[in-house]
């Protein structure tokens, strides 16, 4: 895995994922952090956007998935984001995806949040 990476942190989207009826009906905030691992040297030396990953495209793809078709598990959301980014960007050798749900309610208790973080390599 390359040591260079592009970080996109704190992207906030509204989605309808979860196993509870309220999560599916009302939706909730999801916070997504991404790390895309690739050699940034060629882009840095040439100042050529075509040799790196356009942050806007990575953001759009994450938003499309979080705000798209509801699924039960946060793990599924993370897997879909990772798979899409690897498919869209052949120069990316690995991607780390963190999907957080702030203020999770569990049996009358409100947690500061829960999160899933995965690392997928090409």
What are the residue numbers of the active site? 101
Neighbours of 1 (CB within 10 A): 12
d(CA 15, CA 50): 31
Sign of CA dihedral 45, 48, 52, 53: positive
């Amino acid at each position: 895995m390359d040591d260079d990476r592009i970080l996109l942190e704190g992207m906030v989207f509204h989605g309808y994922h979860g196993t509870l009826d309220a999560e599916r009906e009302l939706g909730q905030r999801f916070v997504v952090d991404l790390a895309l691992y690739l050699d940034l040297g060629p882009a840095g030396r040439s100042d050529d956007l075509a040799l790196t990953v356009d942050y806007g495209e990575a953001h759009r793809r994450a938003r499309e998935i979080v705000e798209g078709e509801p699924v039960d598990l946060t793990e599924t959301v993370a897997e879909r984001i990772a798979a899409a980014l690897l498919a869209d960007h052949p120069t990316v050798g690995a991607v780390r995806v963190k999907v957080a749900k702030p203020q999770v309610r569990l049996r009358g208790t409100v947690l500061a949040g829960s999160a899933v973080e995965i690392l997928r390599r090409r």
